[in-house]
Amino acid sequence: MPACLPARRFAAAGLLALTMTVAAPLSSLPLGLQPAHAAEKGVFFPESFTLSNGMQVVVIPNHRVPVVTHMVWYKVGAADEERGQSGIAHFLEHLMFKGTDAIQPGEFSRIIAKNGGRDNAFTSYDYTAYYQNVARDRLEMVMRMESDRMANLKLTDAVVYPERDVIIEERRQRIENEPADRIGEQINATLFVHHPYGTPVIGWPQEMSALTREMAERFYKTWYTPNNAILVVSGDVTAAELKPLAERYYGAIPARPVPERKRVTEPPLTSSRQVVLRDAEVRQPSVRRIWVAPSYRLDQNSQAYALQVLAEIMSGGTTSRLYRSLVVDQKLATSAWLGYGPTAWDMATLSVGASPAAGVPMDKLESALWAEVDTLLKSGVTEEEVATARKRMLASAAYARDSLTGPAQTLGAALATGQSIDDVESWPVRIDAVTADQVNAAARAVLSQTNHVTGLLLPPTGKDS
């Protein structure tokens, strides 16, 4: 069953967040991967070429096991939908599993499973991706099937409209029945009042129920073409081995003109806003505040790397500022975080949040959390904090190479949102060059904005402590 990404994701590790969760201890790094060496250019060391029809191909060799991850990324997502058709990108993601003349509806995933593999797909604001994890000797089979549905998807009313019911039910289960997801949706819609990032990836319910086969076919024929796609293969294969297969299956598909990505811009807002959701299903209250921040692509003042270091200082594990202060020392929270994800075609976001410990009133937690933000703005971070954060991040970058799927996800997301392979491979060098002054300047530029949105997730009135 395909799966969407219904909300914006935040991660302290920035570009490499898809491959790393916890920084490795420096002492455990293998020789040759100590931070002094990790700061040299290079993370995944991919190979790349472009087919004659314009399709970019990236290969990330990893010969430890005879397995590959095969991913096709389309440079189109929910933010590219026509106004009034929210959810069509995610709907089409589901419909891509409904077959061609060569493969019957539902057979794609069954064939993958019969061959010992796993497959899935996901939709975000800026891209849609399809992936399979299979044994190396099944790679050609996967490429034949994936290229077939790139060019020959067959949609009928009999398969389209029952699947529309499926995505409507998915929204009920994943959004409407989950208070944390509901408030997240409302926070996004309040932060982005005009830009499509304020519309949920899965769609608004009244528009989802009006989606048609004709809309899906038009979206497919507009955006699903090889010159708007990126093939990323990670695992036991080289570019020399993959190129003939890529040319045979994907290279045979003709290119088509693709519309320019035209996104509206946000109006100039200066007022802060608050969203409060009280629900009997809330078991863990929380507070969060979210600001618009620069993405990699729109980072005119070179703040993206500094903000990633800031996130590591404030939220990078149990020794981070927020956890140490609010959870360990003051014992006011069970969790506290500062999250930032710069991988987006347009604006990114930075968020700060916490959940109260048992018996702690929400207003007391809020006061302590905003006091930490004020301290950061007034006093900044130190060079020692920055140096320690850089070391942890570079250590994690070294271990990111061990993953099979993670590098394909990282490179695919980066390329689909306007970055280059060189940008990805330069990440360690750019992180290692970040200074305390740069972190403090970036923090003040973002956190001093007054057009933020604060969200409060609470149980029913009188039970918020």
- pLDDT given for residue 464 in this prediction: 52
pLDDT tens digit sequence for 255-279:
999 999 989 999 999 999 999 999 9
Is residue 86 within 8 Å of residue 207, measured between CB atoms?
A: yes
Percent of the chain with pLDDT over 70: 91
Per the residue annotation, which of 81, 93, 163, 385 is the catalytic one? 93
| Residue 122 β-bridge partners | 129
**10 has pLDDT over 80:** no
Q: Beta strand pairing status for 333-341 and 128-135?
A: unpaired
β-sheet bridge partners, residue 121: 130
Identify the weakest region by mean pLDDT among 25-34, 63-72, 310-319, 382-391.
Answer: 25-34
Q: What's the pLDDT tens digit per position in 169-216?
A: 999 999 999 999 999 999 999 999 999 999 999 999 999 999 999 999
Mean pLDDT (whole number) for 290-313: 97
Tell me what percent of the residues of the chain surpass a pLDDT of 90. Answer: 87
Query: pLDDT at position 6, please?
Result: 37
Average pLDDT of the chain is: 91
Q: Tell whether the model's pLDDT for residue 131 goes beyond 90.
A: yes
Residue 19 has pLDDT above 80, yes or no: no
Quote the pLDDT of residue 23: 31
pLDDT, tens only, 230-247? 999 999 999 999 999 999
| Cα 297 to the center of its chain, rounded Å | 15
Report d(CA 84, CA 208) in Å as an integer.
9
Quick one: pLDDT band at residue 400, thresholds 50, 70, 90? confident
93 is catalytic: yes
Q: Which single residue is written with the structure tokens 């129920």?
A: 209
383 pLDDT above the threshold of 50: yes
Does the pLDDT of residue 25 top 80, yes or no? no
Burial class (CB in 10 A: 0-12, 13-18, 19+), 32: exposed
Whole-number Å distance between alpha carbons of 366 and 447: 16
SS (H, E, C) the chain: CCCCCCCCCCCCCHHHHHCCCCCCCHHHCCCCCCHHHHCCCCCCCCEEEECCCCCEEEEEECCCCCEEEEEEEECCCHHHCCCCCCCHHHHHHHHCCCCCCCCCCCHHHHHHHHCCCEEEEEECCCCEEEEEEEEHHHHHHHHHHHHHHHHHCCCCHHHHHHHHHHHHHHHHHHHHCCHHHHHHHHHHHHHCCCCHHHCCCCCCHHHHCCCCHHHHHHHHHHHCCHHHEEEEEEECCCHHHHHHHHHHHCCCCCCCCCCCCCCCCCCCCCCCEEEEEECCCCCCCEEEEEEEECCCCCCCCCCHHHHHHHHHHHHCCCCCHHHHHHHHHCCCEEEEEEEEECCCCCCEEEEEEEEECCCCCHHHHHHHHHHHHHHHHHHCCCHHHHHHHHHHHHHHHHHHCCCCHHHHHHHHHHHHCCCCHHHHHCHHHHHHCCCHHHHHHHHHHHHCCCCCEEEEEECCCCCCC
pLDDT band at 9 (very low <50, low <70, confident <90, very high): very low
Residue 69 and residue 61 in contact, taking contact as beta carbons nearer than 8 Å: no
Give the confidence band of 26 by pLDDT, cuts at 50, 70, 90. Answer: very low
pLDDT at 463: 57
Strands 56-61 and 229-235: parallel
What's the rounded Cα separation, in Å, for the pair 372 and 386? 17
Distance, in Å, from the CA atom of 24 to the CA atom of 35, rounded to the nearest integer, reads: 11
Q: Partners of 131 in the beta sheet?
A: 71, 120
pLDDT interval class at 40 (50, 70, 90): confident
For residue range 114-127, what is the model confidence (pLDDT) as tens digits? 999 999 999 999 99
Give the residue-averaged pLDDT of 109-136.
98
pLDDT of residue 462: 60
Q: What is the pLDDT at residue 278? A: 97
Quick: pLDDT tens for 329-353. 999 999 999 999 999 999 999 999 9
- For residues 410-425, give the mean pLDDT: 97
pLDDT of 5 strictly over 50: no
Evaluate the CA torsion angle 340, 196, 422, 411 in order and state its sign. Answer: positive
Cβ pair 309, 324 in contact under 8 A: no
Cα gap 358→51, rounded to integer Å: 58
Question: In this model, does residue 147 exceed pLDDT 80?
Answer: yes
pLDDT tens string 432-463 = 999 999 999 999 999 999 999 999 999 998 65
Q: How confident is the model at residue 7 (pLDDT cuts 50, 70, 90)?
A: very low
